[in-house]
């Protein structure tokens, strides 16, 4: 079992819709959770962090964490074509590094 799992996609949503990206992790001791956005050929950019159960909202983005289910998600409201990118989930625990998922490619079509 991979430590951090994401569906590779592509996830295709129409402009204006809600995009829902999901991530599961295997280490129950994980304590920090991050979402990164990576445009093609560019470096990952941190867009959300979440540390406790529940929802965290920042503009059009909402991160949701459920530690009991070992599940973290990212909702993007009012999706725009400029949101088309690969979204990486990263999880931090008791090691000297973050564990990254393989990413979900999101396509927002007009």
Partner 1 sequence: ETGVTQTPRHLVMGMTNKKSLKCEQHLGHNAMYWYKQSAKKPLELMFVYNFKEQTENNSVPSRFSPECPNSSHLFLHLHTLQPEDSALYLCASSPTGGRDEQYFGPGTRLTVT
Contact between 109 and 14 (Cβ < 8 Å): yes
* Site map 17..56 versus partner 1, x via CB under 8 A: -------------xxx-x-x----xxxxxx--x-------
Kindly identify the residues of this chain, within the stretch 70-109, that bind partner 1 according to CB under 8 A: 88, 90, 92-98, 100-103
Tally of residues, the chain: 110
d(CA 74, CA 59): 12
Which residues contact partner 1 (rule: CB under 8 A)?
30-32, 34, 36, 41-46, 49, 88, 90, 92-98, 100-103
């Amino acid at each position: 079992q991979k430590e951090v799992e994401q569906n590779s996609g592509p996830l295709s949503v129409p402009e204006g819709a809600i995009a829902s990206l999901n991530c599961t992790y295997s280490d129950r001791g994980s304590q920090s959770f991050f979402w990164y956005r990576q445009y093609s050929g560019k470096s990952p950019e941190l867009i959300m962090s979440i540390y406790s159960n529940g929802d965290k909202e920042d503009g059009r983005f909402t991160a949701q964490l459920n530690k009991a289910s070992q599940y973290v998600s990212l909702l993007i409201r009012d999706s725009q074509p400029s949101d088309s990118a690969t979204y990486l989930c990263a999880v931090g625990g008791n090691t000297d590094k973050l564990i990254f998922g393989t990413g979900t490619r999101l396509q927002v079509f007009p």
